[in-house]
């Protein structure tokens, strides 16, 4: 008969191997980008416009473009997402509607990013005639990050103990007063986490902005929400596939800046969540 502990050893070895096969490449990717990208970063690279057909100069317009898009997306998605989360956690009782909403959220988060791009093109660019503009791009990204914001905010709201609500209601506060003054303040760290994760997601996505806003090369800053902008992820795509003979340093530098923005946002979200868990009084 086989020795079960021998089998266990072999099995655990393969499980460890599987884990290493994920973790080591991830580490390598981050290390490579830091190692080759960091030397390219200078004040000039961050604040100059791209020059010589994007083969020299900096990436300032792309950074600014991404900032605009991300803030626009969150300005649109946060109010809607937060109210939707309040509805789901505080108001909805009807299980069928609830289930349909949950399915809709699951589907929204599963729709391929390029399909969001098509949708944004058809609705905002063509139908509403916003053209390829910051407005179209930000709205498209906003709808895309809605599920992230709803799901995390809802979890945060639901984790506020029921007794908090009962005490407030028993003191004569109305339902909305209870939500506004008791539930929301206690859920803010969780909501913040979700918002920041949404920000990170919006900053890194390329496909939704391809046809709704992103400019191939536009070395000036936008003047209104109806202007096109460059955006970091699209810029990285352009200089790594569309423009020949771009200095490797510029490519790695751009990848580094994009990765740094996204990872810092995720890190901030993780830290908030961690601190909140430690401080939680219930």
Tokens of 176: 């909305």
C-alpha closest to that of 160 among 127, 184, 195, 191: 184
Binding positions for other proteins, 122-141, rule CB under 8 A: 122-123, 126-127
**Secondary structure (DSSP) of 143-195:** HHHHHHHHHHHHHHHHTS-HHHHHHHHHTT--HHHHIIIIIHHHHHHHHHHHH
When asked if residue 38 is in the footprint of other proteins (CB under 8 A), the reply is no
CB of 233 closer than 8 Å to CB of 204: yes
When asked if residue 276 is in the footprint of other proteins (CB under 8 A), the reply is no
The single residue listed with the structure tokens 């496909």 is 207
Closer Cβ to other proteins, 60 or 211, answer by number: 211
- Rounded least distance, CB 167 to other proteins, Å: 20
Closer Cβ to other proteins, 156 or 203, answer by number: 203
When asked if residue 259 is in the footprint of other proteins (CB under 8 A), the reply is yes
- Rounded least distance, CB 282 to other proteins, Å: 22
| Contact pick of 106, 171, 188, 271 for other proteins (by CB under 8 A) | 106
d(CA 234, CA 214): 7
Binding positions for other proteins, 46-105, rule CB under 8 A: 79-81, 83-84, 86-88, 91-92, 97, 100-105
| Contact pick of 41, 49, 67, 118 for other proteins (by CB under 8 A) | 118
- Rounded least distance, CB 45 to other proteins, Å: 17
Closer Cβ to other proteins, 123 or 225, answer by number: 123
20's CB contacts (< 8 A; 6+ apart) are: none
Binding positions for other proteins, 146-205, rule CB under 8 A: 146-147, 150, 174-176, 200, 203-205
Number of residues that bind other proteins (CB under 8 A): 87
Report how far Cα 120 is from the mean position of its chain's Cα atoms.
17
CB of 40 closer than 8 Å to CB of 250: yes
């Amino acid at each position: 008969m086989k020795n079960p502990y021998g089998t266990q050893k072999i099995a655990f070895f393969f499980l460890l191997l599987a884990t290493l096969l994920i973790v080591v490449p991830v580490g390598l990717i981050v290390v490579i980008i830091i190692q080759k990208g960091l030397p390219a970063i200078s004040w000039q690279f961050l604040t100059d416009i791209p020059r010589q057909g994007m083969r020299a100069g900096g990436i300032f317009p792309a950074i600014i473009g991404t900032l605009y898009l991300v803030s626009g997306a969150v300005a649109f998605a946060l109010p809607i997402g937060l109210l939707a989360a309040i509805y789901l956690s505080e108001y909805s009782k009807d299980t069928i509607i609830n289930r349909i909403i949950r399915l809709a959220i699951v589907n929204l988060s599963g729709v391929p990013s390029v399909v969001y791009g098509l949708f944004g093109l058809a609705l905002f660019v063509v139908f509403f005639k916003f053209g390829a503009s910051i407005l179209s791009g930000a709205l498209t990204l906003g709808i895309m990050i809605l599920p992230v914001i709803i799901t995390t905010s809802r979890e945060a709201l639901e984790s506020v103990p029921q007794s908090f609500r009962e005490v407030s209601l028993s003191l004569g506060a109305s339902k909305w007063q209870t939500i506004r003054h008791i539930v929301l303040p206690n859920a803010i760290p969780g909501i913040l986490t979700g918002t920041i994760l949404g920000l990170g997601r919006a900053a890194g996505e390329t496909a939704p902005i391809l046809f709704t806003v992103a400019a191939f090369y536009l070395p000036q800053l936008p003047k209104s929400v109806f202007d096109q902008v460059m955006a970091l992820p699209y810029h990285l795509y352009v200089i790594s596939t569309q423009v020949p003979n771009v200095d490797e340093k510029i490519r790695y530098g751009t990848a580094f800046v994009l990765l740094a923005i996204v990872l810092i946002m995720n890190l901030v979200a993780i830290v908030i969540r961690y601190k909140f868990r430690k401080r939680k009084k219930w």
